[in-house]
Structure 1
Amino acid sequence: MRALPRKAACIGGGVIGAGWIARLVLNGVDVNVFDPDPQASRKVGEVMANAEKAYKRLAGDGGLPAPGKITYCNSLQDAVRDADLVQESVPERMDLKHKVLAEIDAHAPSETVIGSSTSGLLPSEMQSVMARPERLVVAHPYNPVYLLPLVEIVGGRQTAASAVARAEKTYASIGMKPVIIRKEIEAFVGDRLLEAVWREALWLIRDGICTVEELDDIMRYSFGLRWAQMGLFQVYRIAGGEAGMRHFMAQFGPALQWPWSKLTDVPEFNDELVDLIASQSDAQSDKWSIRELESIRDENLTAIMDALGAARGGEGWGAGALMNEYKAHLAVRAAKPEGSEDDAARPGPQADPA
């Protein structure tokens, strides 16, 4: 694992921002937080409580390092002035992103990497208002940020390669799996895939083919489990048998011409469709509070990752192998006295780490 940032700043404490705060703090990083919402500390505190429970299950007997400190700041300027990493997680409005990123850029140290949690806005457009646009990257995580390892890193036209490299090392140091997206594109990779599934799901519900609960069951009892341990193409390679992917493509390629999906068409997103889906979702899940559902989700995810970590005689597979490495890293740090981190190994603000 790479060395941690000395201090981070999180701008925005909503669902994603709070997840970033939890991941950083539970890795021993001090975090400055700025969010004008008067309920921000309560919301972050509730997410932290679930994250702490999840991390205790995740770490097991290995233990956890001493947590970082959360400091709520009265201004954005105060939050970012001494941060090595700034994570921006404000709502998805370009005008708001411009305002916030320009202010971060004006007050954060010159070598600080700025990561935006945007789920689809282009970094080139976001960095257009910055005096030092070369240090902005998209760092798009998945909810819950404190458990799911993936972060998509996307540079804009003015982003420096050194900033992408530093971002990759920084996010890896807190147990994440950075994937650098090769070309800038709206919604990046993960959300484009999710959008395709979402569009088809809307049609299936609207047309009465299934309910939201039945659709969720179809996903979680079948290919959802496969995708948890192998990706789309590796799963399909296996489906091709001994002849592999080439056989699979030859066998199922013609299906691309069949009317199996409506991905080129979209149902009208009207009140009727919203009411239908919302009422079915209530029937499915309103017996649990959102926090209870989050806790159940976290327990399930840690169990899946633990199971994947035990695969292949304990060597692990996919996210499980990464989690084994991460748990060993947490255990080593947990065994160190607080404050004994080797500062010489940490990336300083003067130069990018090799």
Structure 2
Amino acid sequence: MTKTKTVSVLGAGNLGAQIAYRLAFYGHDVTSYDINDDAIEAAKRRVQTIAGNYTRDLEGVSEDTAAAAAAAITFTTTLEDAARDADYVIEAVPENLEIKRDTYTRLARFLPEKTVLLTNTSTLLPSDFKDATGRPEKFLAYHFANNIHIANVVEVMPTRDTNPEIVEQVIEFAQTMGMRPIRLHREHAKYIINSFYSTWVDQARDMWVKGVADIETLDEVAAMIAGSEQLSPFLAQDNTGLGVAYEITKNRAATGDPLAAEFSRRLKQEFIDKGNIGKESGQGFYVYDENGNPTGLSEAAKKKYPPVDPGK
């Protein structure tokens, strides 16, 4: 490994916590930032779950080793602490353009000159908010897949303003945390991973909203075609978190898509507002047992909704 880096991860949700843990597991000095104490307490619980996943899924990882990585993460609710002496800041705040712009604007005044900024956005283009960073030459997209201890790829996507030397630097940095860097040669909305994945999921969401088939049938057919439950669209959204699904679909709804608008409404009113945000909370489209295994559809997922006809 190259020299240990000081890295802050902004946002300690599902993927932000995974990134922070991954960095700590590979020996980097890590600070995890979120907006308040409740979010930090949730992040600490999330990190403990991730440590268990490493022990369960990766050969040769002992409980002591996994626990040591979790204990090495520093948590904070202030951007000033997160910025202090950071070689890299990896942003994983909600997939909302205004939240991202606001976060970078507030962060900018605390950053050392050396800091490179990396956004884990999954659908937005880094050019959409590069001006808010105050250092577009040291800013680019760095998109991780979910379950990064298994799907250990990171998409590296610069803007036209990103210094080419910084691109090479962050490609090397990815390797110091056991990640395989995937270089994109130009900006592309949804990147490679989500260009494949979102098409699959959007079709499933639309068929559910139109009343073509129920969730269980759609997931069953998808798993059969893909040869894996990993690409069962609704199960996969539970794994990622329904908050992420909501932000992404809300962006699509804003374009006037009636199917996306109805899916967003159902997510918000029937799931998220009731505290059911996916596997992490024990219930989303599916209900999960204490080991995180799905036991069947939730009541909200089984509910009969009026179908939407986008042609009317």
Q: TM-score, normalised by structure 1?
A: 0.62
2:99 to 93, 96, 101: 96
1:220 to 220, 223, 228: 223
> Corresponding residue for 1:51?
50
> Corresponding residue for 1:268?
259
CA drift of 1:198 comes to: 2.2
In the alignment, is the contact (CA less than 8 A) between 1:20 and 1:146 conserved in 2? no
In the alignment, is the contact (CA less than 8 A) between 1:4 and 1:170 conserved in 2? no
> Corresponding residue for 1:255?
none
Report the AA paired with residue 173 of structure 2.
T
Structure 1, unaligned runs of 5 or more? 229-265, 298-354
> Corresponding residue for 1:211?
214
> Secondary structure at the residue paired with 1:165?
helix
> Corresponding residue for 1:116?
119
Count of residue pairs brought into register by the alignment? 256
In the alignment, is the contact (CA less than 8 A) between 2:40 and 2:77 conserved in 1? no
Q: What are the superposed Cα offsets for residues 55-87 of structure 1, whole Å, 9 maximum, x if unpaired? A: 113443365485262222342112111122211
Q: Distance in 1 between matches of 2:266 and 2:96?
A: 26
After TM superposition, list the pairs within 5 Å mapping 1:74-223 onto structure 2: 74-223=77-226
Q: Distance in 2 between matches of 1:107 and 1:272?
A: 39
1:70 to 69, 73, 79: 73
After TM superposition, list the pairs within 5 Å mapping 1:201-350 onto structure 2: 201-225=204-228, 268-269=259-260, 271=262, 275=266, 286-288=286-288, 292-293=291-292, 296=293
> Corresponding residue for 1:9?
8
Q: Structure 1 vs Structure 2: percent identity of aligned residues? A: 24
Q: Distance in 1 between matches of 2:229 and 2:283?
A: 27
Q: Distance in 1 between matches of 2:264 and 2:118?
A: 35
CA drift of 1:226 comes to: 11
Q: Distance in 2 between matches of 1:140 and 1:24?
A: 15
Q: Distance in 2 between matches of 1:71 and 1:175?
A: 21
Q: Distance in 1 between matches of 2:283 and 2:120?
A: 32
Q: Distance in 2 between matches of 1:283 and 1:79?
A: 32
1:39–1:145 Cα change, 3 Å: farther
> Secondary structure at the residue paired with 2:118?
strand
Aligned structure 1 segments of 4 or more residues deviating by more than 6 angstroms: 281-284
CA drift of 1:135 comes to: 0.9
> Corresponding residue for 2:242?
none
> Corresponding residue for 1:253?
none
> Secondary structure at the residue paired with 1:60?
coil
Q: Distance in 1 between matches of 2:164 and 2:87?
A: 17
In the alignment, is the contact (CA less than 8 A) between 1:206 and 1:273 conserved in 2? no
Work out which of the two has the higher radius of gyration on C-alpha atoms and give 1 or 2. 1
CA drift of 1:190 comes to: 1.9
> Secondary structure at the residue paired with 1:139?
strand
Q: TM-score, normalised by structure 2?
A: 0.70
Q: Which structure is richer in relative contact order (CA contacts within 8 A, separation 6 or more)?
A: 1
Q: What are the superposed Cα offsets for residues 204-241 of structure 1, whole Å, 9 maximum, x if unpaired? A: 3345443211221222234244999xxxxxxxxxxxxx
Q: Distance in 2 between matches of 1:273 and 1:75?
A: 31
Report the AA paired with residue 213 of structure 1.
E
Q: Distance in 2 between matches of 1:132 and 1:283?
A: 41
1:147–1:103 Cα change, 3 Å: farther
Q: Distance in 2 between matches of 1:131 and 1:287?
A: 44
Structure 2, unaligned runs of 5 or more? 232-256, 272-277, 295-312
CA drift of 1:270 comes to: 5.0
Q: Distance in 2 between matches of 1:76 and 1:284?
A: 31
Q: Distance in 2 between matches of 1:100 and 1:272?
A: 28
CA drift of 1:144 comes to: 2.8
1:146–1:39 Cα change, 3 Å: farther
CA drift of 1:155 comes to: 0.6
Report the AA paired with residue 30 of structure 2.
V
Q: Distance in 1 between matches of 2:102 and 2:209?
A: 39
Q: Distance in 1 between matches of 2:262 and 2:57?
A: 42
